[in-house]
Amino acid sequence: MSLPRRLEQVGIVLGSMLMLSLPLTAFTPFLVETPQLWQTTLLVYLPGFVVGTLIAIDKFPVSYQQVWAFGIVSWLATVALWVVFDVQSVTADQQTAIGTWVVGLLVGALVAWVNPRIRPRRSES
């Protein structure tokens, strides 16, 4: 395998870890009240590592673009819903925080499933 392909695979894994960590960081306080560093690392980065590795070796039926769309949109939707529902503390407003987090994940999954393509507009001249 060539070096550029290997570097591309490493980039896919690292990018997936970063993008999937966005929605998962909101969920960490529900599982562990005061997480240790190793617990945070496992909860936040391990799913992205697994998904990124599977995408890099072409064993997962999801594109890298869909992972980015899911990560960003679900995180933004969760944060927006927390602002709308005035979630002050994730642990104090637990039911509202979990409900809005799940809705945010569903919105992210829907956007990733629709798989929008961003194309530059062409000038008409």
pLDDT in tens, 8-64: 999 999 999 999 998 888 777 776 667 778 877 888 899 999 999 999 999 998 888
User: Coil, strand or helix: which one is 73?
Assistant: helix
- CB under 8 Å, gap of 24 or more: what pairs does 111-115 form? 111/69, 111/70, 111/73, 112/62, 112/66, 112/67, 112/69, 112/70, 112/73, 113/66, 115/63, 115/65, 115/66, 115/69
- Confidence band, pLDDT 50/70/90 cuts, at residue 125: low
